[in-house]
Structure formats: structure tokens, C-alpha cells
Structure 1
Amino acid sequence: SLVLEKTETVKKRLKNRFAQLPESVSLADELIAERRTEANKESGQ
């Protein structure tokens, strides 16, 4: 089923979900590091 929500509702939910993360944490940087580690494992390095 398709659920339509107001943009503000989605923004509030996401803000609450990630509110406990310190500002110094970059989820993008963590994801990139994990991807690089996995790529190195797959290439045998």
C-alpha cells in the first residue's frame, strides 16, 4: 500500500530518529569507510 505523509511529518520523524547522534558523527563518512573495507576484502587486498 502507498502511504502519503506531509513533508513536515516526515522531517520531524527523521529528525527525532537521528537526534541522539553527536554532531561530530558523519553517517556518510562511516558508510563510505564500510564500503571501501568491503571492496578491499572482495578484491583480495
Structure 2
Amino acid sequence: MRHIRQISAVPASAFEVQPSIFLRVLDLVLQRVVIAQLQQKKTDGSSK
């Protein structure tokens, strides 16, 4: 049980100390997803 508690506590404290980095990662992921969707739409439109 001690190992589980330590593992669960480390990321929680890291996010609390540096929430801005976590938000930046989310923004980058969302941007990649949006860009991928836009590229798919462009290819679909050109193929038709």
C-alpha cells in the first residue's frame, strides 16, 4: 500500500506545483488534434 500511495502522491503534487505546464501540454494536444482533423477535411474535400 505504501508504494501505491507514493506513486499517486507524486503526480498530484507535481500538477499542483506546476499547473501551467500541464495546461500547456493539454493545449498542444488539442492543437494537434484540431490540425489533424482539418487536414483530414482538406484531403476529403480534394478527393471528392
TM-score by length of 2: 0.47
TM-score by length of 1: 0.50
